[in-house]
Homo-oligomer: A and B are copies of this chain.
């Protein structure tokens, strides 16, 4: 498979130390792969990558400091030679879209069989795009977020569970306006509650940027 060339150098980013270490063990079984760096926070990705110059970075989406999508974008500009493979727990349709827009070269969910991961890494390293086909279909079906900018902003603020008055003050809007945006979001998500709307938007990855 990888005859005699130098091994592919990997950077792993995942906030769960146990999973990170386990992935390192799994990938180290492959003779043509080497893990050269591990980080547990999104904002440590770029510094560590600059120091160790990996060929491929495996990034989780849910991470403290900086989410995987933002880390992808930062890494692509800081170290364009490094490919990015996003590895995430949830197959949120929006995540895939955002990851690709941010410059990721591959997207794999943690449900995929373990043996396929090494192949995904090799494909990405070879310049190919790797995407879970079922997730890709779902992404196309779901489409981009129907929510307008303000609507997402308000929904995001509503996630914390505060009352309308607090949201209004935090966003410098009238209470009526906040209610209206929430109502629109509820309608567009097909929910009947503010809470349900938040959940649906979250599941689709429409609330990502903070």
* B114 adjacent to A18 (CB under 8 Å): yes
What residues on B are CB-neighbors of A113 within 8 Å?
17-18, 21
Interface size class of A (residues with CB under 8 A): 35 or more
A196 touches B161 (CB 8 A): yes
Produce 1/0 per residue, A2-30, CB < 8 A to B. 00000000000001111111111110010
A198 to B193: give the CA distance in the assembly, Å: 14
**Quick one: which of B15, B26, B89, B115 contacts A26, CB cutoff 8 A?**
B26
Given A161-B196, A163-B193, A193-B163, residue A26 in contact with residue B22 (CB < 8 A): yes
> Which A residues from 121 to 156 make CB contacts under 8 A with B?
none
Spell out A's residues near B (CB within 8 Å): 15-26, 29, 87, 89, 108-115, 117, 160-163, 191-196, 198-199
